[in-house]
Amino acid sequence: MKSRIILFASIVVLLFSTFSVAKNATKTVENIKAAIKGETTASAKYAAYAKKAKEEGNSKVAILFEAASKAESIHANNHRAVLEQLDAKMDDFKPEYTVKTTKENLEDAIKGETYETSTMYPSFLKTAQSENVSLALISFNYAFQTEKKHQALYKNALEQLNNGKEKSLPSKYMVCSTCGNTYDGEAPARCGISMTPKERFITIT
């Protein structure tokens, strides 16, 4: 009898905790969906920008776009895993973007990364903190920290392109397979964001 009562009480606690997590994570679930859309679109867009940069003879800018595209796909996958953990689903969507000249594409990329680092992720992180969704905090933070680096890399690339020094840009990047962290040239022994060992980085050349 006693064990039955304990079992019943455990089920009630479990049901209540599941319900309360789902209930409290409402805003974060919507934010994760928005982040999946943003990261998936950025990944597809940067791949298209890389192709355009190659066509225009800006091969070094193309490599940067390819590396960032890979990083954004890692962010999208991380966010999707969190959404799954929260037992939520989202509708299919088609990434929408416009390919212009490489100079304009870099300006657009800087704009996107600036929005994510100054507005979107700080707000999503704050909400995930107040709703206590720890997995979303990890995933949002991985993206937030990486986008700050992308913003700097794109700004530098635009400056070099405008100064006729595109060829002096890095010809190799290393992308962390856990968090998308993007290093120009060699990565350190462990990722500065997620501590992932260098052996698990993806090299883009």
Applying CB under 5 A, which residues contact Fe ion?
A: 39, 72, 75, 143, 147, 150
Q: How far is the CB of 74 from Fe ion (least distance, A)?
A: 8
| Nearer CB in complex with Fe ion: 39/131 | 39
Q: What is the DSSP string of 78-146?
A: HHHHHHHHTT--------------HHHHHHHHHHHHHHIIIIIHHHHHHHHHHHT-HHHHHHHHHHHHH
| Nearer CB in complex with Fe ion: 19/49 | 49
| Nearer CB in complex with Fe ion: 147/166 | 147
Q: What is the DSSP string of 33-61?
A: HHHHHHHHHHHHHHHHHHHHHHHTT-HHH
Strands laid side by side in the 201-204 sheet: 182-184, 173-176, 201-204
| Nearer CB in complex with Fe ion: 66/72 | 72
Q: How far is the CB of 109 from Fe ion (least distance, A)?
A: 8
Instruction: Tell me how far apart the alpha carbons of residues 128 and 73 are, in angstroms, rounded to a whole number.
Output: 21
Q: How far is the CB of 24 from Fe ion (least distance, A)?
A: 26
Q: How far is the CB of 124 from Fe ion (least distance, A)?
A: 12
